[in-house]
Amino acid sequence: MENTLAVSDKLRQRLRAEQLHTHYQQLPAMIIAPALGALFTAWVLWNAVNTTYLKIGLAGILGISILRIFLYRKYFSRNRSEESQQVWHYLAISLALVSGCIWGSTAIFLYPPLQPEYEVYMLVLLALVPVAPMAALAVYMPAFYAYYLPCIAPFIITLGMQEGRAEKMTALLLLMMTGAIITFANKYAAMLAEAIRLRLRLADKKEQLEQAAIVKTRFLAAASHDLRQPVHAMGLFLESLQNHYSELRDSRLFAQIEQSILILRRMLDAMLDISRLDAGVVEVRRRDFKLAELLDSLRDEYAPLAAQRGLQFRYITTRQIVNSDPVLLERILRNLLNNAIKYTRRGGILLGCRRRGNHIQIQICDSGSGIPTSQLDEIFYEFTRLYNNENHPQQGLGLGLSIIKRLSHLLEHEITVHSREGRGSIFSITIPCSQNTPQSIHTNDSRNPMPAPKLHQWQVLIVDDDEAVRLGMATLLEQWHARVIAAAGIDDLLQKISTLSRTPNLLIVDYRLAHGKTAQDVIDMLKTEFKQQIPVIIITGDTAPARIREAHDANHLLLHKPVAPEKLKACISSLLPADQVAGL
């Protein structure tokens, strides 16, 4: 109960602060309108009323306008604390009260005018002045009452004391209008207060959702890091076993172990893809290429996989040249084909193209279980899986379609889905055709595998505080004929390299080390020790977007655990001179 009252009281305080804030936002209207009104009235009534008071009243109104300008600039040029709110509250009421008193005093000192022909203008003035600033002042009712009551009361009293019936009827009309205006102002203020209250609640909900997202991201980053360590070490030991016992490569049990590790890697890589997209480091390399080259390779890879599951795989090729990033487009199509094969139990899959004006629409159709119409948008959300009841061993984390959506947005390619539950789905991605001539298009030969590095007599430093990872990496590199020094941290590494007679050829270092040290600390230490830069590969299990962006900005070669041995070979090759790259 006490907590509920505390929350309610806090909401009231925030509501009042927002109303006061809105009041000060209205100050420009309360600066300009009264000043212009006062100048116009002085011009019209000059020599028709008591000119001395006219000067005093005009000076008072202009003085308040100048003060409001100062307060407006002051209010919006500093951070206000909770303690200062009360000061601004009193300033708002005080200025409204003084302004109301000045305008109200015109009824006492200026009516009736010295020249009778100005009496109509005076009556109109008396009727409009209290009403004119109502919209601006009603956002904060304490200021409204402070202005309106001392402004309207002298008008009603002055007119009511006149002998003429018209003046008395005008006073009665103003009295009735006062009731109506106060009622209207209260309703207007209540509506505004409700709108502000709703906005505050929505802001609180948004903050809670953002906080939940932050917690989720931190949890996933921590879970991903902890999972990557043993999977990375397992992959290294498995590769070492294959190199040491060649007969294991044909073992069915060994193949099942490899498949399990592959599934784990794919799940972790999907989480990494999300982090890279969040970090904004995925670069688009758009170019013209023959779409058939990409689709043919996908057909050759996925047709046998479909056949293994008893599915037909139909393929409609195209001669069209398109403009896109072939690598990112391939990732999108691979994810879609993986899903089609996973969730199709009978029937088949179709990979084909349709011409749509200056665009090509690539379609992947399946005869799977389909998607309910109500969930067609939901499938593109992170960690959404609609087939939990099927208990598929390779179902994944529900990130595939989320990655597809983000990549298609990055490429500016429209992706659509049509599905009938129980009948299958059609995923379509629309890409622009090339505007160049066919002669200007070159075939992409980047699919040829990169040769592995020759590591004979190479001195490689390994720094990782995880003993299993350190041992697995050292074992693998030694089988590649490298001379390895493995250390758990900077102090351990310093002791082991003290006897080295030459500069190491390569450093492989974990990003996050014990005692708050990082890979950069190791790099700086080695640069100081050997007076030159050593080629570096940073390996980490940290997939936080900020960490990826930091490494990207520093131009470090960054690999994420678990690292496939073939990828490690390729990265080492990229750091070596061309004449030192050869097969192991």
Q: State the number of CA atoms in the 13 A half-sphere of 496 facing the CB.
A: 18
DSSP 293-314: HHHHHHHHHHHHHHHHTT-EEE
Longest dimension (CA), the chain: 121
Q: In this structure, what is the dihedral angle of CA atoms 108, 112, 117, 118, given to the nearest 10 degrees?
A: 0
Cα radius of gyration (the chain) = 38
**Lookup: tokens for 337:** 């084909």
**Residues 152, 155, 158, CA angle at the centre, nearest 5°?**
150
Given the DSSP bridges, would you call strands 348-356 and 312-315 parallel, antiparallel or unpaired? parallel
Which residue reads 């230490």 in tokens? 525
| Calpha distance 112→136 (Å, rounded) | 29
Return the SS3 of 422.
Answer: coil
Alpha helices per DSSP H over 396-442 = 400-411
Give phi and psi for 85, each to the nearest 5.
Answer: -60, -40
Give phi and psi for 486, each to the nearest 5.
Answer: -110, 135
* C-alpha closest to that of 100 among 55, 64, 72: 64
Sheet with 348-356: strands ordered across: 312-315, 348-356, 359-366, 424-432, 414-420
pLDDT computed for residue 258 by the predictor: 66
Using H for helix, E for strand and C for coil, what is the string for 215-233? HHHHHHHHHHHHHHHHHHH
At position 139, the amino acid (one-letter code) is V
End-to-end CA distance of the chain: 73
Quote the strand ranges of 310-458, DSSP E: 312-315, 321-324, 348-356, 359-366, 414-420, 424-432
Burial class (CB in 10 A: 0-12, 13-18, 19+), 403: buried
* CB 367 within 8 Å of CB 390: no
Quote the strand ranges of 433-487, DSSP E: 459-463, 483-487
Return the SS3 of 353.
Answer: strand
| Calpha distance 412→420 (Å, rounded) | 27
Fold matches, 287-440 and 459-580: no
Alpha helices per DSSP H over 78-140 = 85-109, 119-128, 134-137
Given the DSSP bridges, would you call strands 287-290 and 321-324 parallel, antiparallel or unpaired? antiparallel
At position 420, the amino acid (one-letter code) is R
**Residues 264, 270, 274, CA angle at the centre, nearest 5°?**
150
535: left (phi over 0), alpha (psi -120 to 50) or beta: beta
Cross-strand bridge partners of residue 414: 430
The predicted model scores a pTM of: 0.43
Give the helix/strand (H/E) hosting 289. Answer: strand 287-290
Question: Running DSSP on this structure, what letter comes out for residue 347?
Answer: S
pLDDT computed for residue 159 by the predictor: 79
pLDDT computed for residue 581 by the predictor: 46
pLDDT computed for residue 252 by the predictor: 65
pLDDT computed for residue 351 by the predictor: 92
Give me the CATH code for the 287-440 domain, please.
3.30.565.10
* CB 116 within 8 Å of CB 67: no
Alpha helices per DSSP H over 245-309 = 252-279, 291-308
| Per-residue confidence in pLDDT tens, the chain, 584 aa | 444 545 566 777 778 888 887 878 888 877 887 888 888 888 888 888 878 888 888 888 888 888 888 888 888 876 555 557 778 888 888 888 888 888 888 878 777 777 777 777 777 776 677 666 776 777 888 888 888 888 888 888 887 888 878 778 878 888 888 888 888 888 888 888 888 888 888 888 888 877 776 666 666 666 555 666 666 666 666 666 666 665 555 666 666 666 666 656 655 555 555 555 555 556 677 888 888 888 888 888 888 888 888 899 998 888 888 888 887 888 888 888 888 888 888 899 999 998 888 889 999 999 888 887 766 666 666 555 555 444 444 455 455 677 788 788 878 888 888 888 888 889 999 999 887 654 444 444 444 444 445 666 788 899 988 887 888 888 888 877 788 889 988 888 888 888 787 888 888 988 888 888 888 888 888 888 888 888 888 887 766 666 666 766 666 678 877 777 777 877 877 776 554 544 44
- The structural domains of the chain, with segments of one domain joined by +, span 2-209, 287-440, 459-580
* C-alpha closest to that of 329 among 355, 297, 375: 297
Domain 459-580 = CATH 3.40.50.920: no
| Calpha distance 413→349 (Å, rounded) | 22
Give the helix/strand (H/E) hosting 47. Answer: none
Measured CA to CA in angstroms, residue 410 lies from 37, 124, 406, 415, 495 at distances of: 56, 63, 6, 12, 48
pLDDT computed for residue 532 by the predictor: 83
Return the SS3 of 577.
Answer: coil
Q: Count Cβ neighbours within 10 Å for each residue of 127-144 and write b for 16 or more, e otherwise.
A: bebbebbbebbbbbbbbb
Q: State the number of CA atoms in the 13 A half-sphere of 242 facing the CB.
A: 17
**Residues 410, 412, 416, CA angle at the centre, nearest 5°?**
105
Return the SS3 of 560.
Answer: strand
